[in-house]
Amino acid sequence: MPRALVTGAAGFLGSHLCTHLLNEGWEVVGMDNFITGDRRNLTELEKDPGFSFVHHDVTQFISFPGELDGIFHFASPASPIDYLQIPIQTMKVGALGTHNCLGLALSKNARFILASTSECYGDPLVHPQPESYYGNVNPVGPRGCYDEAKRFAEALTMSYHRHHGVETRIVRIFNTYGPRMRLDDGRVLPAFIGQALRGQPLSVFGDGSQTRSFCYVDDLVNGIYQLFQSEEVFPTNIGNPREMSILEFAEKVQEAVGSSMPITHLPLPEDDPKVRQPDITKAKSLLAWTPKVELEEGIQKCLDYFKGRVAEERQ
């Protein structure tokens, strides 16, 4: 049975990845310090005898006994509301955390995969965004703490691959949604669904013409696992190329929830990307991967989860 370490295991993506690895026959060790992770995301995982958990901050040296076959480095704040509140911790987990995990991969002869982000493209001047595009990132803007932490992590990962021969993979993750997201994490789907379920107006930044592409979490995790098993060392986009405006997305949520509340408009945050759409040509050809879950189906699949979270708020 292969053995994996998943950092950020109590987070939205990390917990789903742990579930996927267990289903694929891996023994999984989860690691998190709960800065943004949710202990409740581990509830089902801890019922599985193949799962164990270590409470640890990956920016500190990682002492790990026994053999290790894979390291999935998913520890990081991932939403603007988080990384704008804790910018230094965000940069540390991208730099020191990635360094510690790569050092562990080197010592254990384990394959390493970095959870990078579409934010490496910044506010893009090329659309859709292929992996060959170097990006348009403001390093001194408020979002720079996250964008540059991930860009540094990619460079460090490639340096360990080239200099030390570590088997590395880099996945650039585009907007993803599904169960286990925090209602208050600031990302668009939980924000819209939370507001709709509470009977509140939906808050759209700017005029809502900015675009995003939303991938259901099961599709994303499948793509990540296929990339991990491949031989590709350079960054690979994983996301759903179906693009829509934020205003259109808000209307989709209203329809799914049955909300008649109006849409309100707020000032657009600084450096907010105007467009975001993955070019997944590489993933299609390299991995034979494409997303399967349509947005309308995906919203319905996670609606009960968010209803439960809103009900807990009212207790």
Strands 243-245 and 211-213: antiparallel
236-238 sheet: strands from edge to edge: 51-55, 27-32, 3-7, 70-73, 111-117, 168-173, 236-238
The catalytic residue among 83, 121, 146, 160 is 146
Q: Which residues contact 47 (CB under 8 A, 6 or more apart)?
A: none
Residue with tokens 């943004």: 36
Q: CB-based contacts of 269: which residues, under 8 Å, 6+ apart?
A: 80, 142, 205
d(C-alpha 34, C-alpha 45), whole Å: 16
Bridge partners of residue 243, in order along the sequence: 213
Q: What share of the chain is helix, strand, coil (3-state, %, to 5)?
A: 40, 20, 40
Q: Is the peptide bond before 128 cis (omega within 30 degrees of 0)?
A: yes
Based on the residue annotation, tell me whether 146 is a catalytic residue of this protein. Answer: yes
- Give the active site residues: 146
